[in-house]
């Protein structure tokens, strides 16, 4: 005879294994997809200041200011195993003191079902562009790249770099006046 | 199956059978330990699976979600990755995203993190006077995601009585269950 407990136990175990199998199918059906796409980034206004960084060392560091245009369509990146895209705009550059610097200037969370057609004009950055020292003034090659981290319902967490980055240079003089 | 028959079962077991049950119980415990330690070797992380305990990465990760980590020393840290790190004076590791990174040519790297759901970076969470994280603070980097599964451990940690009840039931079941 089967008691209530035994019946409940087998129903629960069966339901869990079906759920696990379906989750695995969901993961395997999307793991090999290509999530890259093209973006269009431009900088509008670029200037650099030399001011004390009170959030860190309190020494005078280079602080970059920029506004940017961003245009891309990410609608086709969403499928049944994409819960959220975490977009971030990275500035990557080299200075004499650091071989590689990466600073996230702006980010955005897009949930599935939200508008994923982006067309921003003259956007301000969300985070301060502090350098670790004085490497921004007259820096000739700063590369802006948009990337996204895909958050699935269940599965891997890939970071994807968009094609179409933008390089710009900082002015040779500090801006001393207020903006 | 009521309590009397359960104890009848135990009484009817002879010494040999009882030892066999104890051994198979030990087998289960040791294979669980082997899987955990094996995962540590394969992933290079001291804690290859972590449960998200706070809402600071919402809406990507909620309380009770499970993360799979790797920590290969040759893989560089990059901006936008989700790292799990330990801070001196805090027992619980933190899961946050890398916001800024500076790498010198001898590949020493320092970086700053921020939770997606927090409005400021993590300098307030670090040890007093600590401005940056370095590679030795990293426990692992999030590679895989499974929702809800960690809820069981959160329940067990918040209600210790529930934990002991579950452990007692499992132990009794394994010791008394006869093939």
DSSP string over chain A: ---HHHHHHHHHHHHHHHHHHHHHHHHHHHTT-----BEEEEEEEEEEEEEE-TTTT-SEEEEEEEEEEEEEE-GGG--TT--EEEEEEEEEE--SS-SEEEEEEEEEEEETTS--EEEEEEEEPSS-EE-SSS--TT---EEEEEEEEEE-SSEE--EEEPB--EEE---SS---S--
A13 in B contact zone (CB under 8 Å): no
H/E segment holding residue B26: helix B15-43
pLDDT number for residue B15 = 82
Does residue B7 surpass a pLDDT of 70?
A: no
B116 in A contact zone (CB under 8 Å): yes
Comparing C-alpha atoms, which of A126, A164, A147, A123 is closest to residue A38?
A: A164
In this structure, CATH architecture of domain A33-168:
Sandwich (2.60)
pLDDT in tens, B138-152: 999 999 999 999 998
Q: How far apart are alpha carbons A98 and A174 in whole angstroms?
A: 21
Q: Which domains does chain B have, with CATH numbers?
A: 3-43+167-176 (no CATH), 49-148 (2.10.109)
CA distance A155 to chain B (A): 5
Is B102 within 8 Å of A23 when comparing Cβ atoms?
no
Is B60 within 8 Å of A86 when comparing Cβ atoms?
yes
CA distance B7 to chain A (A): 18
The 8-class DSSP code of residue B89 comes to T
Question: Per residue in A26-57, is it b (16+ CB within 10 Å) or e — as a string?
Answer: bbeebeeeebebebebebeebebbeeebeeee
Does residue A1 surpass a pLDDT of 70?
A: no
B-chain CB neighbours of A111 within 8 Å are 59
Mean pLDDT of A65-81: 94
Which of A7, A83, A104 to mutate to test binding with chain B, by most B CBs within 10 Å of its CB? A104
ipTM: 0.89
CA distance B59 to chain A (A): 8
The band of B8, judged by pLDDT with boundaries at 50, 70 and 90, is low
Q: Give CA angle at B95 (B98, B39), nearest 5°.
A: 110
Is A103 within 8 Å of B123 when comparing Cβ atoms?
no
Does residue A53 surpass a pLDDT of 90?
A: no
Does residue B61 surpass a pLDDT of 70?
A: yes
Q: How far apart are alpha carbons B142 and A156 in whole angstroms?
A: 9
* Widest CA span in chain B: 73
A115 in B contact zone (CB under 8 Å): no
Domain regions of chain A by residue span: 1-30, 33-168
The band of A177, judged by pLDDT with boundaries at 50, 70 and 90, is confident
Q: Which of B45, B56, B65, B137 is catalytic?
A: B56
Does residue A26 surpass a pLDDT of 90?
A: yes
Nearest CA in chain A to B130: A56
B91 flagged as catalytic: no
Q: How far apart are alpha carbons A36 and B46 in whole angstroms?
A: 32
The residue that leads in pLDDT, B6 or A98, is A98
Does residue B2 surpass a pLDDT of 70?
A: no
B-chain CB neighbours of A3 within 8 Å are 1
Comparing C-alpha atoms, which of B90, B93, B92, B113 is closest to residue B101?
A: B113
H/E segment holding residue B32: helix B15-43
pLDDT in tens, A130-172: 999 899 999 999 999 999 999 999 999 999 999 989 999 999 9
Q: How many CB pairs under 8 A join A and B?
A: 78
A-chain CB neighbours of B104 within 8 Å are 97-99
pLDDT number for residue A141 = 94
The band of B4, judged by pLDDT with boundaries at 50, 70 and 90, is low
A-chain CB neighbours of B97 within 8 Å are 86, 149
Is A102 within 8 Å of B147 when comparing Cβ atoms?
no
Is B82 within 8 Å of A149 when comparing Cβ atoms?
yes
B96 flagged as catalytic: yes
B177 flagged as catalytic: no
Mean pLDDT of B78-106: 93
């Amino acid at each position: 005879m089967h008691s209530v407990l035994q019946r409940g136990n087998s129903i629960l175990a069966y339901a869990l294994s079906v759920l696990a199998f379906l989750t695995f199918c969901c993961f395997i059906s999307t793991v090999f997809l290509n999530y890259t796409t093209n973006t269009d980034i431009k900088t509008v206004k670029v200037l650099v200041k030399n001011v004390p960084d009170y959030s860190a060392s309190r020494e005078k560091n280079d602080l970059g200011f920029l506004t940017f245009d961003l245009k891309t369509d990410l609608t086709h990146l969403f499928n049944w195993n994409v819960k959220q895209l975490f977009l971030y705009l990275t500035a990557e550059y080299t200075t004499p003191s650091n071989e590689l610097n990466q600073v996230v200037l702006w980010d955005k969370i897009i949930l599935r079902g939200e508008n994923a057609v982006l067309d921003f004009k003259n956007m301000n950055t969300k985070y301060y562009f502090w350098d670790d020292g004085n490497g921004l003034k007259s820096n000739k090659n700063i590369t802006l790249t948009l990337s996204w981290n895909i958050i699935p319902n269940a599965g891997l967490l890939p970071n994807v770099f968009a094609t179409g980055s933008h390089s710009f240079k900082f002015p040779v003089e500090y801006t001393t006046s207020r903006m | 199956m009521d309590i009397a028959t359960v104890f009848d079962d135990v009484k009817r077991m002879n010494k040999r059978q009882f030892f066999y049950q104890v051994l198979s119980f030990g087998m289960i415990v040791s294979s669980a330990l082997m899987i955990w330690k094996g995962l540590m070797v394969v992933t290079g992380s001291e804690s290859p699976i972590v449960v998200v305990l706070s809402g600071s990465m919402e809406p990507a990760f909620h309380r009770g979600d499970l993360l799979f980590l790797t920590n290969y020393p040759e893989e560089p840290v990059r901006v936008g990755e989700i790292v799990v790190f330990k801070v001196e004076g805090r027992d619980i590791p933190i899961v946050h995203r890398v916001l800024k990174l500076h790498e010198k040519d001898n590949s020493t790297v320092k970086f700053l993190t921020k939770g997606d759901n927090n409005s400021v970076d993590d300098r307030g969470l670090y040890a007093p006077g600590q401005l940056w994280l370095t590679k030795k603070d990293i426990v692992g980097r999030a590679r895989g995601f499974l929702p809800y599964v960690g809820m069981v451990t959160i329940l067990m940690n918040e209600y210790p009585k529930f934990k002991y009840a579950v452990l007692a039931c499992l132990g009794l079941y394994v010791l008394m269950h006869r093939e």
